[in-house]
Structure 1
Amino acid sequence: MTLLTEATDVFSAAATDRCAVLFIARREPQAFGAFGERHRAAIGAVLAALASEGWRLSLRGMIDASAQDEPTAFEAGFAHDADMVGVFEAPTPSAALAGTVRLERAGWSRRFSTQWLIGPREFASIAAKGPAIERNWAFFALWEWNDAWAAASAAARRDYDAECDIAFQNDLDLNVGIAGRHRLDWMSAWHHLGAWEIDRPETADAAMRGHERVADFKFTTSRHFIGRRRPLADLLEDHPGPTT
């Protein structure tokens, strides 16, 4: 795949066909019988099949392929207009598209109204480099390059990437795991997805201050999500009532 931006000291190109499947979901109000145990079981069967086909079903599994890969997502309704945000990684783009259809048909669409964003891996993941800690939170960033970036010269873009590398190195110093970068522009207005595994919301805040110091956002428009890790089975089970 042709890179939209160049590799840097922090990010290396990923020679792979693997493809992110980002989901941003709100719970559907439940009428009696609209979603039940048979739907949960059917979704679980699809997830098990996807795992056997080479999918990674958690952000942790995308960063560390040796990690236990229980299907997980992140509870986000305390801060966003979405109840959960999560990401899987499929072996290929065609598998990614087919997998979302299989999940929806199994009953996912009865439980959640979902925005699916799909895009191939561009840069390799980077494991956290600090001591072993619990990372039960995630930070997701969607961004598109703005008109200033489109008008910038190749040299100006390289200088910008070098400045941003300072911020990304600071992120790694905060013991953040980064799932590389995925391109979304083939089917979305967003150009890229970045996903981080973090220990607490304050870490994301500290990281963003570092990105602001190097003027990371001068070339982008972005949308961010933060959420707490939950087993996907729990999120399928929970029902606090209609989201308002």
Structure 2
Amino acid sequence: MRVQRLHSVTLPRSSVDLDRGTGYSPSIGSGTGSEYRMAFFATVESRKNAAFGINGVLLVSSLILIGTGSSLMGFYRIHMLEVITLDFIIVPTVLTGGGLFTLLVSFFGFAAVAKEDSCLLTCFSVLLGVDFCILVAGIISSVRLLFDIQIGFLDADVMTELSAYETNSWVRYKWDTMQTEFTCCGGYGYAQGYMDWKKTTMGGSRNSVPDSCCLFVSPGCGSNLFEVNDIRVVIGKINVHGCITVMQRRMETHVTVILMLFSVRTFTK
């Protein structure tokens, strides 16, 4: 009785298959093709998750930027110090505007990654580049502002603005806001800031200071103040420290730290 033996033959993978990267192998029982497809989809999924993670970081960063810029303008009122340098306007504007732009970029990125559209992903990359440039501009302005806080306050000429108090509505609003919120009066000096108003038309001809200088604000409370010779009476009626001096102290203790943290965080983003 003759027994016929069967031999399995494994054919070599063709160069065409290798070039195409199909992973196909004619060998019997081979699972290389399915393993390749699984690895491919796993790689795509991991990249998609990474992209979602990046957009999540952008979303959180945008909220931090918006909150920081808003607090600098709403609480510290640094945008009102443009008489010293325009950087006091540029920095909070860049922070707030850059935060809003980053927020929109993150939402756009979520949509682009979810749809897996190459055109949207390309646009997202361009927007990321623009966002980076905006944040670099914010860093440069922040560093400049750090130096301005240390030395720029000494070079500011506030008398021009104080003289325009009665004729310029923005100047009046600005100084009334600063003098009320920071409990100060005039420009420079501790206990002598209010004397800057004596060099204006209001103080020179009417011996008065703005009502916003008063401890308890009421119409006419600052009238005829310079007719009082007793400093104790003056201290009992108005704030005597200069606003620039008071705000410089707050800048050095609070705003400097905020700007340094912003610069470091953005640089390491």
Task: Judge same fold: TM > 0.5, yes or no.
Answer: no
Greater relative contact order (Cα < 8 A, sep 6+): 1
Higher percent of residues as helix: 2
TM-score (norm 2): 0.20
TM-score (norm 1): 0.21
Higher percent of residues as strand: 1
